[in-house]
């Protein structure tokens, strides 16, 4: 998964250098959901529709007519927030599920707007946003193993998912190749070596010399026989030409 700090599900108190980030409306009427909590507990100011206010920060999701703002405008507000957070690195910002309550946005719409704010030490994101962003970073490929499904001294099982904290090609993380034929550079089709399709995600690091990637998240798919593996390689090359 992404090495991303997660916003606690129920925030009732904040420490000195912590800020509650909530979805607001441009009128600054904090009457429901996270906005109401921000006003009652964290200093959100009535009639202030955006920005820092007390120990809270408003990101507008509804316009003056109390209708959804455009995704473009919401992205601009998220970018403004990111800039503010980058200028206040000693403060931790707890981002809630912005726009996914009264405003009626789906997490699939809002989460991608925060993709440039992942893995920043002073910003936490809700788990639902992280799940969406991880899916955006999903990478399909092929992996080789020894005859016991061991790779880099790690024991895998078919159909299982695995997670680690960091990905760096030739160093750490889960390694596989986008091009099946590149797998043979590491596990040739001899000596009982085995092959599967895989789905990687989270943090992704790429190799310059071939199609090898390293990820922090991987799901081991079905095992491929040699015929299926070659067919996958031919398909990969055909789609790239």
120-172 pLDDT per residue, tens: 889 999 999 988 887 777 789 999 999 999 999 999 999 999 998 888 888 99
Would you say residue 65 has pLDDT above 50? yes
Closest of 20, 102, 108 to residue 62, by C-alpha: 102
CATH code at 18-135: 3.40.220.10
**In the prediction, which pLDDT does 15 show?**
95
* Section 101-118 average pLDDT: 92
Domain map (residue ranges) of the chain: 18-135, 138-240
What is the band of 1 on the pLDDT scale with cuts at 50, 70, 90? very low
CA distance 131 to 57: 23
CA angle 229, 230, 235 (to 5 degrees): 100
What is the band of 238 on the pLDDT scale with cuts at 50, 70, 90? confident
Question: Cα 121 vs. chain centroid, distance in angstroms?
Answer: 14
Residue where the block lists tokens 């596990």: 187
Closest of 154, 159, 108, 96 to residue 134, by C-alpha: 108
Lowest mean pLDDT among 54-63, 101-110, 112-121: 112-121
């Amino acid at each position: 998964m992404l090495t991303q700090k997660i916003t606690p599900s129920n925030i009732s108190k904040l420490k000195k250098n912590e800020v509650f980030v909530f979805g607001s409306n441009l009128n600054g009427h904090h009457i429901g959901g996270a906005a109401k909590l921000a006003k009652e507990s964290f200093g959100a100011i009535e009639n202030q529709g955006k920005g820092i206010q007390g120990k809270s920060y408003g990101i507008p999701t509804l316009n003056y007519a109390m209708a959804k703002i455009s995704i473009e405008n919401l992205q601009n507000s998220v970018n403004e927030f990111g800039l503010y957070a980058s200028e206040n690195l000693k403060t931790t910002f707890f981002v809630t599920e912005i726009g996914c309550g009264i405003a009626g946005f789906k997490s699939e719409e809002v989460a991608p707007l925060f993709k440039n704010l992942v893995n920043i030490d002073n910003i936490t994101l809700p788990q639902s946003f992280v799940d969406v962003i991880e899916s955006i970073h999903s990478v399909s490929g092929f992996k080789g193993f020894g005859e016991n499904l061991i790779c880099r001294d790690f024991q895998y099982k078919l159909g299982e998912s695995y997670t680690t904290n960091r990905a760096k090609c030739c160093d750490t993380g889960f390694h596989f190749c986008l091009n099946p034929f590149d797998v043979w550079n590491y596990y040739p089709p001899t000596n009982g070596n085995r092959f599967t399709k895989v789905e990687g995600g989270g943090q992704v690091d790429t190799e310059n010399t071939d199609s090898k990637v390293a990820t922090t998240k991987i799901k081991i798919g079905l095992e491929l026989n040699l015929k299926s593996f070659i067919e996958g390689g031919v398909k990969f090359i055909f789609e790239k030409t």
